[in-house]
Structure 1
Amino acid sequence: MPTGALTGYVDVAQIVLYAFFLFFFGLVFWLRREDRREGYPLEAEVTGTLKRPDPILIPTPKLFHLADGKIKQAPQADTRPDRNYLGSKREPWPGAPLEPTGADPMFAHVGPGSWVSRDDAFDHTFDGQKRIVPLRVATHFMVHEDGPNPIGMSVFGADSQIAGTVSDIWVDRGESFARYYEVDLGAGGRRVLMPVTFCRTGRFSRTVKTEALLARQFSDIPPHADPDAVTLLEEEKIIAYFGAGTLYATPQRAETLL
C-alpha cells in the first residue's frame, strides 16, 4: 500500500470531528458532575427528605485542603438543609414561593432575606491578614481625593429620616474594594455595618441614602462581635437583613403589582 493511502478510504477530517465531539461531550459531562459538589443531593419539597444521590451524575466525595489548614469534603455525606426560616408555602405544589409566618417578616429569613450557615470565621488574604477590615486597621488604604468621602456623612433611610452617621469605611484587602460603611447610630454608641451596594453616596448632597431599610430598622441590623473584623456568617446575616428590607421593610413592598 502506498504511503498515505489511508486517506483514500478514511475521511480523516470526519474522524477528527467525531473525536472532538466525544472530547467535548466528556468535558461538559465532567464539568456538570463537578459543579454538583455543593447543593446536592437535592431536597424533596413534598416530603422534606433528601433525594437519593445519583451515582452517575453526583461525583464521588473528594477532600479539599484549604489554605487555613482545614479539610473539607465535598459533596458532604451528612448534608442537611438549613431550617432557619419562618415561612410556609403558599401552595402545596413543588416550587411554590414561601410566605413569612413570623411577627416581623424582616426576621423570617425568607426570599431576599434568606441566608446560609457559613463558617463563623474570618476570611483571610493570601498572606494571612483579615480580609475585610475598617480603614483604621487597613491604614495603607485611603479614599481618593477626587471621590466623595462618606466618612462624616449622615445616613438616611428609605423614609428620609436620619439613621446615623458614617464613622468609617470597611475595605476588602484582597480586592482593594469598599465593602461596608460603618454607621454610628448614636444612641448607645452602637455601630453597625451597611453594605456599600445597598446605598448611594451623594457627592453634592453630602449624604448617604439607602432604600432597603427605614431609619428605625437600622437598630436591628445583625451585629458583628469583633469591632475591627467581620466573619463570613456575620456578613451573610447582615446582607440578608438588607435584602429582606427590599421586600419587607414596609407592608406595601410585599404587595403584588397587579
Structure 2
Amino acid sequence: MVATFFGEFDLASLTLWLFYGFFALLIFYIQRENMREGYPLENDDGTESANQGPFPVPSDKTFELQHGRGSLTVPSGQRPDRDDIALRQTSVNNGFPFEPTGDPMVDGVGPASWANRRDVPELDAKGHPKIVPMSAIEAFSVAAGRDPRGLPVQGGDGEIVGAISDLWIDEPEQMVRYLEMTLDPAYGEGTRLVPLTLAKIKSDRVKIHSIYGKHFNNVPKIASPRQVTLLEEDKISAYYAGGKLYADERRLEPQI
C-alpha cells in the first residue's frame, strides 16, 4: 500500500498549534487596541517613560463620531493633559506622592482631580442632551419617594446654604442624576448642581456631608441652564468628592 500524506500526519496536533497561534495573535491585537488611550507612558514629571512595555504603541486609527461631532484619532489625537496641576513632588524618584501647593478642591488635584473631557453634553441615541432639568420636561414628575424640591440644603458643618430648586434627569435612563440648589446670598450667587449620590434626602432637609458652607460658592458652575457638559460633570463630581478629604483638616488624619 502507498501511504498518503494525511495517513501519517497528525491533524489533531496541527489544529491545536493553529489555535495556539491564533490565540497569541488575538492577545497581541487586544493589548495593542487597549493602548489607544493613556499612551505613550509618562514619568511622574511628565517626561516620556523609557519603558513603554513589551507591546508597541498602535498606529493611529480615526473614528467618526455620531451626530456631526467630527472625528477622533487615537492614540496621537488624544485630548491634551492638564497643564495647570498645582502639585509638587515630595521626592525626585518616581512613585512618591505629590502634595498640593494651593487649595486642592479649587485646583482639582488629588481626590478632587478631574479629567480633561470634552466640553460638550453627553447625547442620547437621537442626538439630544441626556441630562436635562426636570422643569424643561413636561412628561416627567416625581412618582415615588420624597420630592426634595423646596427643602433646605445643609452642609457638612450644619450650615443651611440654600434650597433645592430643581431635579436634573437622565432622560433615557429615567432617573435623577443631580439636584439643583439655589444658594442663599450669604453663601454665594445663583444655582449649583450636586450629584444625587453625594446628597442625603431627609424629611426636612437635604444633607451634603462632603463640603461645608464656605465651600459652596466655589462649586463649579455650568455654562447653560438647560444642559451640563462632560467636562462640567467631571469638575462638579470631583469637587464634592474631594471635600471628603480636604473640606476639613481633621479628615486628613487616619479615621478609626
Aligned-residue Cα RMSD (Å) equals 2.7
Give the aligned residue type for 2:248.
T
| Matching residue's letter, 1:239 | S
- Go from structure 1 to structure 2 and tell me whether the alpha carbon gap of 1:15 and 1:229 turns closer, same or farther (over 3 Å shift): same
Partner of 1:164 in structure 2?
Answer: 162
Q: 1:4 to 1:193 in 2, by over 3 A?
A: farther
Match of 2:216 in 1: 218
Q: From the superposition, tell whether residues 156 and 18 of structure 1 become closer, same or farther in structure 2 (CA, over 3 Å).
A: farther
* 1:58 has 2:25 as partner: no
Query: Given the two structures, how large is their TM-score scaled by the length of structure 1?
Result: 0.86
Where does structure 2 lack aligned partners over 5 or more consecutive residues? none
What is the match of residue 76 of structure 1? 76
Q: What is the Cα deviation at residue 3 of structure 1?
A: 11
**Amino acid of the residue matched to residue 214 of structure 1?**
Y
How far 1:257 sits from its partner (Å)? 5.2
Separation (CA, whole Å) in 1 of partners of 2:55 and 2:31: 11
Is the CA contact (8 Å cut-off) linking 2:63 and 2:72 kept in structure 1? yes
**AA in 2 matched with 1:130:** P
Native 8 Å contact 1:98 1:110 kept in 2: no
Answer whether contact 2:104 2:110 (CA < 8 A) is retained: no
2:194 is paired with a residue whose SS is strand
Letter in 1 for 2:39: Y
State the identity %: 36
What corresponds to 2:88 in structure 1?
Answer: 88
Equivalent pair of 1:212/1:249 in contact (CA under 8 Å) = yes
**Does residue 1:49 correspond to 2:47, yes or no?**
yes
TM-score, reference length from structure 2: 0.87
- 2:195 maps to 1:195: yes
Q: Separation in 1 of the partners of 2:147 and 2:78?
A: 47
State the Cα distance separating 1:72 from its structure 2 match.
Answer: 1.1
2:136 alignment partner, SS class: coil
Q: Kindly report which structure 2 residues correspond to 1:106-145, keeping only aligned pairs within 5 A, or say none.
A: 106-145=105-144
Partner Cα distance (2:140, 2:96) in 1: 46
Residues 226, 23 of structure 1: alpha-carbon distance in 2 compared, 3 angstrom cutoff: same
Q: Does structure 1 retain, via aligned residues, the 8 Å contact 2:80–2:116?
A: no
Shift of residue 219, structure 1, vs aligned partner: 1.4
Residue equivalent to 1:227: 225
Q: 1:23 to 1:84 in 2, by over 3 A?
A: same
1:84 counterpart letter in structure 2: D
Q: Is the 8 A contact 1:99 1:110 kept in 2?
A: no
For 1:138-184, what per-residue CA distance to the aligned partner results, in whole angstroms no more than 9, with x for missing partners? 32222223x12221222221112222211111011232221110011
* Aligned length, in residue pairs: 252
Cα deviation 1:89-115 (Å, max 9, x = unaligned): 22322122221111x232232111111
